[in-house]
Structure 1
Amino acid sequence: MKLHKVTAASAAAFVLALTATACGGGDKDGDSASGGGDKITIGIKFDQPGIGLKEPDGSYSGFDVDVATYVAKELGYDEKDIEWKETPSADRENALSRGDVDFIAASYSITDERKEKVDFAGPYLLAHQDLLVRAGEKVTEGEDLNGKKLCSVTGSTSAQNVKNDFAPDAQLQQLGTYSECLDGLASGAVDALTTDDSILAGYAAQEQYKGKFELAGLELSNENYGIGVKKGDTEMVDKINKALEKMVQDKSWDKAVEANFGSNYENESAPKIGDIVK
């Protein structure tokens, strides 16, 4: 009988422990993956004015920041619940697979190659690859870019496009950030910075650069910006898509465009969810 009582007590304690574990705080993924948890971690760029920028006072600004903040709110998170994490172009897929972030809004173009590694919601913006050049140094679409010194960022579709499509013999310099490329353009080390026109417009609109640089006005590619999530998380994709649709419907999308891009940028209309322009 004594043995029976001890076993019963042990069993009760074991059940109680299981119940406590199941009802406990859980891990980060359990808190945030489907919304409504204590915190949500969002990957953005820290060095792209107009898109994703960490300000000197520690705050964050840009179109991607506004989009991500709106989406997070629709998922059940206040702005104070957002943890912003810098995600350079070359590390975006890894950041999602590692679980470092819940989703990424970082000028993240949807491509077939990337869709093999991550899932995308959106698109939420259609941009075009262009060139940023020094003021007065005009570049036309018919000009041979193969002799130019071009700069872009490692891991970006812009760098891939230079090699694969419009200027395979250009002297392409790939750096870690667009800010480094901009320094090279300012010093004369490179002839042009090439990436999405939305990003270039943000740089050109900065007070310290006004009048120094200008967009060439070339539409060298179509860049469909999507929000990246971990591969297989279809529930998160569906929730983000609904949030993006609402953002367009209530005109918050238009307000974000007006607030973040300079007058040099002529944006396309908001794309429809799932409508990828090749």
Structure 2
Amino acid sequence: MSSTVWKLSARGRAVAKALLAALCALACVFSLTACGSDKEEGKIRIGIKFDQPGLGFKKSGTYVGFDVDVAKYIAKKLGYSEDDIIWKEAPSKQREAMLQNGDVDMILATYSITDERKKAVSFAGPYFVAGQDLMVRTGETGIKGPQDLNGKRLCSVTGSTSAVTVKERFASQVQLMEQPGYAECATALFSGIVDAVTTDDIILAGLASSARGRLQLVGKPFTQEYYGVGIKKGDKALATKINAALSEMIANGSWQRALEENTRGAHFKPDLKYNPPRPKEGE
């Protein structure tokens, strides 16, 4: 009698264990927060820069800029309101890891599409084509373009394509200081630690505008940087949806309005040879 009871009890324990495993699996499907992720049901997590005026900027608890406006438009087309967006700071050197680890659903953070990055993540877009340029102190006459960089001290951001370009093209000519953000580069330029800051023209335009006339663009872009929406590797379905949203934004004039509003006062004009671009990446 007792041995029969023991057998039933063991079977019951096995059933209970299987049930518990099934419930845990269901919990992971319907509430990722219960399984270690910060994803919330009905929300979308978007990575942006918090320190780039005119593009991605955190201001008194709100988020403003061209990247932010494009992200909001995409999110709306995917079925999310502005209140459904969880904004995450996406520093240049952390962007691939954030997508690979599932910390964000997409990234719009002046994220240039490159073959090297596509080994780790996928992209939709492009939604803008920038050009790497130089920013100097107002009144500087010794730097009129990349041909004048010999012996100069430059600042750029760690993990950015701008820093990579400097290392590849001008390593023997310049001293490169790498900083975690462009605000630090602008400070180094103000104080005379470096002679110029280099990154994409639209980023520099925002920085120059916020510097109240103390900094200026050289205005001689020497690359093309195709800004993409970073997504998880291989997600073609999401890329197609994002590209459709971007194409609509460009066609109905929302893209142009967002660009003008966020670069007002910066004396910035996008290169019309490349802008607006055709979003076809990742499909």
CA distance in 2, matches of 1:11, 1:70: 50
The worse-fitting range, judged by mean Cα deviation, of 45-54 and 238-247 is 238-247
1:112 alignment partner in structure 2: 115
2:212 alignment partner in structure 1: 210
CA distance in 1, matches of 2:18, 2:165: 59
Runs of 5+ in structure 1 lacking a partner? 29-35
Q: Which amino acid aligns with 1:193?
A: V
2:181 alignment partner in structure 1: 177
Q: Report the number of matched residues.
A: 269
1:261 alignment partner in structure 2: 263
Q: Taking structure 1 as reference, are residues 221 and 168 closer, same or farther at Cα in structure 2, changes over 3 Å only?
A: farther
Corresponding position: 1:53 with 2:57? yes
Q: Taking structure 1 as reference, are residues 142 and 120 closer, same or farther at Cα in structure 2, changes over 3 Å only?
A: closer
**Per-residue deviation, 1:27:** 2.1
Alignment of 1:20-39 (within 5 A): 25-27=30-32, 37-39=41-43
Deviations 1:71-115 (Å, cap 9, x if unpaired)? Answer: 111111110111101010000000100100000000000011111
Give the TM-score of the pair, scaled to structure 2. Answer: 0.85
**Per-residue deviation, 1:143:** 3.5
**Per-residue deviation, 1:144:** 3.0
Residue among 230, 233, 248 paired with 1:231: 233
Alignment of 1:88-237 (within 5 A): 88-138=91-141, 139-141=143-145, 143-166=147-170, 168-206=172-210, 209-237=211-239
Q: Which amino acid aligns with 2:242?
A: I
Q: Which amino acid aligns with 2:117?
A: R
8 Å contact from structure 1 (residues 202, 262) kept in 2: no
Q: Secondary structure at the match of 2:88?
A: strand
CA distance in 2, matches of 1:167, 1:215: 22
Q: Taking structure 1 as reference, are residues 179 and 146 closer, same or farther at Cα in structure 2, changes over 3 Å only?
A: same
The worse-fitting range, judged by mean Cα deviation, of 134-143 and 102-111 is 134-143
Q: Secondary structure at the match of 2:177?
A: strand
The worse-fitting range, judged by mean Cα deviation, of 140-149 and 241-250 is 140-149
Q: Secondary structure at the match of 1:237?
A: helix
Runs of 5+ in structure 2 lacking a partner? 34-39
**Per-residue deviation, 1:246:** 1.1
**Per-residue deviation, 1:165:** 1.6
Q: Taking structure 1 as reference, are residues 91 and 14 closer, same or farther at Cα in structure 2, changes over 3 Å only?
A: closer
CA distance in 1, matches of 2:244, 2:26: 30
**Per-residue deviation, 1:220:** 1.4
CA-atom RMSD in angstroms: 2.8
* Deviation >6 Å, runs of 4+: 9-23
CA distance in 2, matches of 1:127, 1:195: 9
Q: Taking structure 1 as reference, are residues 19 and 211 closer, same or farther at Cα in structure 2, changes over 3 Å only?
A: same
Q: Which amino acid aligns with 2:194?
A: V
**Per-residue deviation, 1:15:** 9.9
Aligned-pair identity in percent equals 51
**Per-residue deviation, 1:11:** 11
The worse-fitting range, judged by mean Cα deviation, of 182-191 and 13-22 is 13-22
